[in-house]
Amino acid sequence: MGCMNPYFPNLLSPIQVGSVTLKNRICLAPMNLLERDPNGVFKARDIAFIERLARGGVALITIGESYVGRKNGAAGLALHINDPGAYNGLCDMADAVHRYGAKISIEMSHAGAFSRPEYNSGELPMGPSAYVTPLGVQVTEMNEEQMEEVANEFGDAALTLKNAGFDLVMFHAAHGWLIHQFLSPRTNKRTDKYGGSVENRIRFPIMCLENIRKNVGKAFPIDMRITGDEVIEGGYGIDESKKFIKYLAPYVDMIQCSTGGIYHPDAAARMSPVVFYEKGCNVPFATAIKESINIPVSCVGGINEPLQMEEIIRDNRADLIVMGRGLICEPDLPKKLAVNDIENINRCLRCNECHNRFFAQGWFTCTINPTVGHEIDHVRTDNTPRVAKKVLVAGGGPGGMMAALTAARCGHEVTLCEKETALGGAIRFSDHVDFKIDMAYWRRQIEGKLAKTNINVLLNTSVNHEYVNNFAPDVLIIAVGADPVIPPIPGIDNSKVILGAKMHDRCLEFGKDVIVIGGGMVGCESAVELKNRGCSVTVVEMLPRIANGCGEAQANSIRVGLLGVKTLVNTRCLRVTNKGVRVKTDGHDEILLPADSIVLSTGMSARSKLVEDLQQAHVPETYVIGDSMAARKMGNAIKEGYYTAMNL
Ligand SMILES: Cc1cc2nc3c(=O)[nH]c(=O)nc-3n(C[C@H](O)[C@H](O)[C@H](O)COP(=O)(O)OP(=O)(O)OC[C@H]3O[C@@H](n4cnc5c(N)ncnc54)[C@H](O)[C@@H]3O)c2cc1C
Ligand SMILES: Cc1cc2nc3c(=O)[nH]c(=O)nc-3n(C[C@H](O)[C@H](O)[C@H](O)COP(=O)(O)O)c2cc1C
Ligand code: SF4
C-alpha cells in the first residue's frame, strides 16, 4: 500500500478490481482509434497516443470500440480483435501502457443493427429485431445460431486480449450497440425468450458474458460499460437499468456507468455532455447503480474539475472517475494532481472539437492541447532554442498568447503587444457567458502562465510596420485576428444593430425581441446566451441548416442549447428598419420580423490590410498565424501559435 496523497487522498488512492490493483481512481474512457492499417494492426501513431496517456499517470486505459465480429458488427474503421493480424499490435500496445505502471483494457464491441455493409463485406446488419434503418438498410433479426456465433466471438476476443497481455477486458453493453440493443425495449421487440421481460432481454448478454468468463477464467477482471439511463422518451430509465444490472453484475468485476449513446441526438449530447449540461451531470446514475451492487462502479461524462472528482470518490458516489476529453486535453492530469499543480492543468472546454475527427482528419485533435495527435512527431523534446532570438508577437489573442508563451519556454526573448487594455482577443467574450466558463478559465490560466515568464507584455500597444522596424526583432509573429464581416444589407447601420463579436460589451442595451442575423456557431451561441438572459430570440440563416460548417457533435450541442429559440433557415435578410428586419424565406412572401435589437453575426474576416502593412517591416523571419491568416477557431490559432514558436 503506497502513501496517501496529501492533496487528493481519495482520488489518488488505489483500488482493487477483481485480481487487479489500479494505482488510482482515474481511468481513460474508451475512445476509438479509427485504426486504418490495412493489415489490421495498431499503427505506431495509435500506440504513441495511448503511451502518452499512460505516461501522464492514469490508472486504467480502455482502448475504444474494437470489433469482435469476424464477418459482421463493424460500423466503421476500427481494430478487429479476432483478426490474427491484430495480435502483435495488441501486444505492443499492452507493453507500451505497462511501461508506465498503468493497466490496459479494451472495449469489445459489436455494432449490431448499426453495422454498415461497406465495413462488413456487404453483409446486412443484424440486431435483436428486424427493421429498415433511416438510410434504407435492412436489419435482420438474429437467430439463435447467430447469437451463439457472436457470443463465441466475444469469448475468443477476450482470450486473445488476455494472451496479448491485457489486464482487463470491457464488455460494451452501452451507447446503442448490439448488447444495448438487446437490453433496451426500444430496440428489442422480440417475442421469444430473448425479448420482453428484463429476464429475457438479458439472456443474450449473459450468453456472451458466460463465453468471455469461460475463456479468460475466474481471476481475470471483466469490466462492463452500460448506459445507465437512455435519457430519451420511450427509453429505459435508471430504475430499469438497475434491474438488469442486478442480473449482469455477478458475471463482471466492475461496471462503467455511462449515459445516452449514439442512438438519438439528445442521447449523444448526454453521452459526451455538452456545455449546456452541468459538469458531472451523469454521476447520479452511477451512484444509483453503486448503491444496488457490490462491485466497483465508475462514472463518466463531462467531468473536468479536480475538486469535484475528489468529492465524488470521497462521498462514495462512484469508485472511479472515467474521463475521455479531460485526458485528451490534459494527459498529465493524474501526475499534476499528485503534486497539486492545479493551475497548470488544461481544463476541457467540452467544445467537442475532438469529435470532429470522425468527419475531418480522422485523428484526435483538441482546441487547447496542440500536441494531441502528434505524439509520434514530438521528437524535439527539449525546449532549448537552437539560437535565442528576439521575438515580437503582435496581438494577444489565443494565438499570440500561445506563441509568446511557447517561444519564451523555448528560451527566446519575447515581447507581446496587444492594442486593447487586456489580453484574450476574440475570446474575451467568454467572461460574460456562463456556458463558456472553461474558455474564460483557459484565458485566465494562460495569462497567469505568461505572468510567470519574463515575457514583456505591452497592453494598449498597437503595432504597425514602423513600430516593428523600430523594435528590430529577429522574428515577427503576426496574430492580429479578424474583423466582423458586415454584409451590404440596406439599413445595416441602424442603431439597433449590434455586432455579435462586440455584443458582450453592450448587453444592457438589448431589448426583449432580438433577431440574430447569421446562424453559424457564433450566431447560434449568441442566441442561446440572449435566450438565457430572458430575450425572445429568432435566428435568421440563409443556408438550409444552422451551425453549417460545424462538426456533427458541435451542431448537436448547439441544437440542445437552442431549445426555445426560433430558427429560420433558407431565409434572407432584405433590409433592416427601425421596426425590425424584413426577411424572405425561400418559397414564402417577404415579412417583417419585429425586433428591439439585432445582432449581426455573419462571420469574420482576417485583418488582411494590417497583416500586409506588418509584412512591410524589415524582419528576418515573419509568420502569420490564427485568425489573421484566415478567420477560423480558437484551436487553429493555438496550434499555429504553438508550432510556429516551437520551430523558431
Ligand atoms: C463572439 C465570438 C465567439 C467565438 N466563439 C468561439 C468558440 O466558441 N470556439 C472557438 O474555437 N472559437 C470561437 N471564436 C473564434 C475564436 O475566438 C478565434 O478563432 C480566436 O480568438 C482567434 O485567435 P487569434 O489569436 O488568431 O485572434 P484574436 O483572438 O482575434 O486576437 C487578435 C488580437 O490582436 C489584437 N490586435 C489587433 N490589431 C493589433 C495591432 N495592430 N497591434 C497589436 N494588437 C492587435 C486584437 O486586439 C486581439 O486581441 C469566436 C469568435 C467570436 C468573435
Ligand atoms: C473522440 C471520442 C471518441 C469516443 N469513442 C468512444 C468509443 O469508441 N466507445 C465508447 O463507448 N465511447 C466513446 N466515446 C465516449 C467517451 O468514452 C465518453 O464516454 C464520453 O466522451 C464522456 O466522457 P468525457 O466527458 O470525459 O469525454 C468517445 C468520445 C470521444 C470524445
Ligand atoms: S477538443 Fe474541446 S472537448 Fe475535446 S478534449 Fe479538447 S477542449 Fe475538450
Q: Write a three-state SS string for 49-102.
A: HHHHHHHCCCCEEEEEEEECCCCCCCCCCCCECCCHHHHHHHHHHHHHHHCCCC
Task: Using most ligand atoms within 8 A of CB, pick from 108, 179, 272 the residue to mutate for ligand 2.
Answer: 272
Could you tell me where the DSSP H helices lie in 249-282?
A: 265-271
Dmax over CA atoms of the chain, in Å, equals 84
List, in order, residues 6 or more apart from 111 with CB less than 8 Å away: 67, 73, 74, 75, 125, 177, 178
pLDDT at 551: 84
346 C-alpha vs ligand 3 centroid, how far in Å? 10
634 C-alpha vs ligand 1 centroid, how far in Å? 7
Residue 118, class by beta-carbon neighbours within 10 Å (0-12 exposed, 13-18 middle, 19+ buried)? exposed
pLDDT at 35: 60
Q: SS3 for 594-621, per residue?
A: ECCEEEECCCEEECHHHHHHHHCCCCCE
Angstrom CA distances, 244 to 227, 301, 352, 577, 593, stand at 11, 22, 31, 61, 52
Q: Are strands 138-141 and 60-67 parallel, antiparallel or unpaired?
A: unpaired
pLDDT at 376: 80
The Cα–Cα gap between 239 and 244 comes to 9
Q: Which three cell numbers stand for residue 384?
A: 532549448
User: Average pLDDT of 618-642?
Assistant: 97
List, in order, residues 6 or more apart from 45 with CB less than 8 Å away: 363, 373, 375, 376
Beta-ladder partners of 67: 80, 109
Nearest to 76 by CA among 362, 373, 374, 365: 362
* 49-58, 61-70, 316-325, 363-372: least confident range: 363-372
Q: Are strands 138-141 and 571-576 parallel, antiparallel or unpaired?
A: unpaired
The Cα–Cα gap between 172 and 140 comes to 21
For ligand 1, atom 48, the nearest C-alpha belongs to: 425
Percent of the chain, pLDDT > 90?
87
Beta-carbon count within 10 A of 460 CB? 10
83 C-alpha vs ligand 3 centroid, how far in Å? 32
DSSP 124: P
Nearest to 136 by CA among 117, 119, 120: 117
Beta-carbon count within 10 A of 88 CB? 14
pLDDT digits (tens, 9 = 90+) for 583-610: 999 999 999 999 999 999 999 999 999 9
Task: Using most ligand atoms within 8 A of CB, pick from 420, 633, 638, 643 the residue to mutate for ligand 1.
Answer: 633
List, in order, residues 6 or more apart from 47 with CB less than 8 Å away: 89, 92, 93, 96
pLDDT at 377: 73
pLDDT at 250: 97
Q: Are strands 254-258 and 222-227 parallel, antiparallel or unpaired?
A: parallel
DSSP 73: -
Q: Which three cell numbers stand for residue 498?
A: 449590434
pLDDT at 605: 97
Nearest to 46 by CA among 63, 60, 25, 59: 63
Q: In a 3-state reduction of DSSP, which class is residue 349?
A: coil
- Which residue is listed with cell 472539437? 353
pLDDT digits (tens, 9 = 90+) for 381-430: 556 667 899 999 999 999 999 999 999 999 999 999 999 999 999 999 99
484 C-alpha vs ligand 2 centroid, how far in Å? 35
The Cα–Cα gap between 155 and 217 comes to 11
The Cα–Cα gap between 273 and 614 comes to 42
* Alpha carbon 43 to its chain's center: 22
Atom of ligand 2 nearest to the CA of 357: 1
H or E element in which residue 552 lies = helix 552-561
pLDDT at 382: 55
| Residue, of 205 and 1, whose pLDDT is higher | 205
Atom of ligand 1 nearest to the CA of 628: 26
User: Average pLDDT of 488-514?
Assistant: 88
Q: Which three cell numbers stand for residue 149?
A: 456465433
- The answer to whether the beta carbons of residues 623 and 478 sit under 8 Å apart is yes
Q: Is 570 left (phi over 0), alpha (psi -120 to 50) or beta?
A: left
pLDDT digits (tens, 9 = 90+) for 347-377: 999 999 998 766 555 678 899 999 998 888 7
User: Average pLDDT of 70-85?
Assistant: 90
pLDDT band, very low/low/confident/very high, at 42 (cuts 50, 70, 90): confident
What single-letter amino acid sits at 392?
L
pLDDT at 385: 66
Q: What is the CA radius of gyration of the chain?
A: 27
For ligand 2, atom 13, the nearest C-alpha belongs to: 31
In order of their start, the domains of the chain are 15-377 (3.20.20.70), 390-484+606-646 (3.40.50.720), 497-602 (3.50.50.60)
* 400-409, 547-556, 578-587: least confident range: 547-556
Nearest to 180 by CA among 116, 240, 99: 240
Beta-carbon count within 10 A of 646 CB? 17
pLDDT at 378: 63
363 C-alpha vs ligand 1 centroid, how far in Å? 25
The Cα–Cα gap between 642 and 400 comes to 9
Backbone angles phi, psi at 625, to 5 degrees: -130, 170
Residues with CB under 6 A from ligand 3: 325, 328-329, 348-354, 366-368
Beta-carbon count within 10 A of 139 CB? 21
DSSP 447: H
The Cα–Cα gap between 459 and 505 comes to 19
Q: Is the dihedral of CA 109, 114, 116, 120 positive or negative?
A: positive
Q: What is the mean pLDDT of the chain?
A: 94
Q: SS3 for 505-565, per residue?
A: HHHHHCCCEEEEECCCHHHHHHHHHHHHCCCEEEEECCCCCCCCCCCHHHHHHHHHHCCCC
pTM: 0.95
Residues with CB under 6 A from ligand 2: 29-32, 64-65, 107, 174-175, 225, 258, 271-273, 300-303, 323-326, 354-355
Angstrom CA distances, 630 to 360, 515, 551, stand at 18, 27, 19
pLDDT at 2: 58
For ligand 1, atom 20, the nearest C-alpha belongs to: 634
